[in-house]
Chain A
């Protein structure tokens, strides 16, 4: 029984048309469900590219990508969009909230995109999530009207609204101060435990790395190290 939520086979990525740059070389990687994984690497090592491919924001030049049992490297745009919406949550270094909408609306946005009406239950869930991340008081603030930490926490709540099986985070605490970073990484771990969500977090923050079950280092487009806690 394969309890891998992600399987990468011989994944390579080459950029450029005339001048080609290879960023990933034959990556083989399996990620177990419910795991909390960290990815580290120098800038330019290819880690963000890897995460983007896992998240279907980018497609591999070669190789197979299997997310939650489906081959994403062969899927069409609309199917990929649906997968992203329902199965994957993203947390980036920059919050990427929609400034025209309130925090509460931003949190619900992936659900709006899913295309269903907001019923009482969903409304309650959004409130719950905002409370979970400690933002009960700023629900109706416009996204631009909050501190960086609050914005990032809103982004975290947003990534959870559709109950994704997988959350991908690219340096989620990169732009945050030390105190907020503490709060955020505790939050991520709690979410992993409470909702059984699989996490893949790119980080250079020791404190997040300490909370992971597995640490993978990418160097020059290849997996340089892969250590798991026993």
Chain B
């Protein structure tokens, strides 16, 4: 099956709220090595998500339906986990040097509930060889601090979907940078709000702004 076929069949299943069918299509494709995680996430799942997202100004779908669809996608993502590790193994099969896995912590800010993007980023980071820890959506500030202190990650990734939270993000980054012990990490941000709002880069002093798997790859190279 081509990715286009997978996409169209998957989208159809989503439209029909057919969870079983949706999962079967994807696991089938993965099992048969018809699609990579990157392609699956970016060109099938994300595309399907965008078409149902209520980030658009005109809401054409009721919220319950949106939740239903995104939860099907979520189920799919969780079920791809073994394939993520499988693909990582394949990618790292040719490494001779000892693997010095860097750590990454991924989360959404307090009151931000759109976590699918963050969840997929976690898998991408895993693919790229990180030990990626997904703390979840709606993470209060103190928990963020606490988690970072605990993991002492090399990479901190935040996904922001609602542009209203960008101000929180700004403040978070400012505060994190003042804490001595937390100073030595790279801060990357992504999500709908980051790429669809004005003057983000000039106001949020993040290290990198990412959209795609390739962006993440570039960051990995940069912090090596």
In their complex, do chains A and B touch, with some C-beta pair under 8 Å?
Answer: yes
Q: Which A residues form the contact surface with B (CB < 8 A)?
A: 38, 40, 206, 209-210, 212, 215, 217, 224-230
Contact B203 A227 (CB under 8 A): yes
| B29 interface contact, C-beta 8 A | no
| B38 interface contact, C-beta 8 A | no
What is the minimal beta-carbon distance from B163 to any residue of chain A, in angstroms? 5
Report if A215-B199 is in contact (Cβ < 8 Å); known contacts: A206-B111, A224-B170, A225-B170: no
Contact A227 B111 (CB under 8 A): no
Give the complex CA separation of A139 and B164 in angstroms: 36
Other A-B pairs beyond A217-B170, A225-B203, 7, CB < 8 Å: A212-B164, A215-B166, A217-B167, A225-B166, A225-B167, A227-B167, A227-B203
Number of A-B contacts (CB under 8 A): 45
Contact B203 A226 (CB under 8 A): yes
Contact B203 A210 (CB under 8 A): no
Contact A229 B199 (CB under 8 A): no
- Scan residues 14-68 of chain B and give those whose CB is less than 8 A from a CB of chain A: none
| B162 interface contact, C-beta 8 A | yes
Give the residues in chain A near B163, CB-CB below 8 Å: 215, 227, 229
Q: Which B residues form the contact surface with A (CB < 8 A)?
A: 111, 162-164, 166-167, 170-171, 193, 196-200, 203
Partner of B167 from the list A210, A215, A229 (CB cut-off 8 Å) is A215
Give the residues in chain B near A230, CB-CB below 8 Å: 196-198
Report if A210-B197 is in contact (Cβ < 8 Å); known contacts: A224-B170, A225-B203, A226-B203: no
Report if A40-B167 is in contact (Cβ < 8 Å); known contacts: A225-B203, A226-B203, A230-B197: yes
Pairs A–B under 8 Å by Cβ, sample size 8: A225-B167, A226-B199, A227-B198, A227-B200, A227-B203, A228-B198, A229-B197, A229-B198
What is the minimal beta-carbon distance from B20 to any residue of chain A, in angstroms? 33
Give the residues in chain A near B162, CB-CB below 8 Å: 206, 209-210
Give the complex CA separation of A107 and B153 in angstroms: 58
Give the residues in chain B near A210, CB-CB below 8 Å: 162, 164
Partner of A38 from the list B111, B164, B197, B203 (CB cut-off 8 Å) is B164
Give the complex CA separation of A101 and B111 in angstroms: 41
Give the complex CA separation of A230 and B200 in angstroms: 11
Give the residues in chain A near B198, CB-CB below 8 Å: 227-230
Give the residues in chain B near A226, CB-CB below 8 Å: 199, 203
Give the complex CA separation of A209 and B168 in angstroms: 13
Give the residues in chain A near B167, CB-CB below 8 Å: 40, 215, 217, 224-225, 227
Give the residues in chain B near A209, CB-CB below 8 Å: 162, 164
Contact A215 B170 (CB under 8 A): no
List the A residue with the shortest CB-CB distance to B54. A210
List the A residue with the shortest CB-CB distance to B112. A206
Give the residues in chain A near B193, CB-CB below 8 Å: 227
Contact B166 A227 (CB under 8 A): yes
Give the complex CA separation of A226 and B199 in angstroms: 8
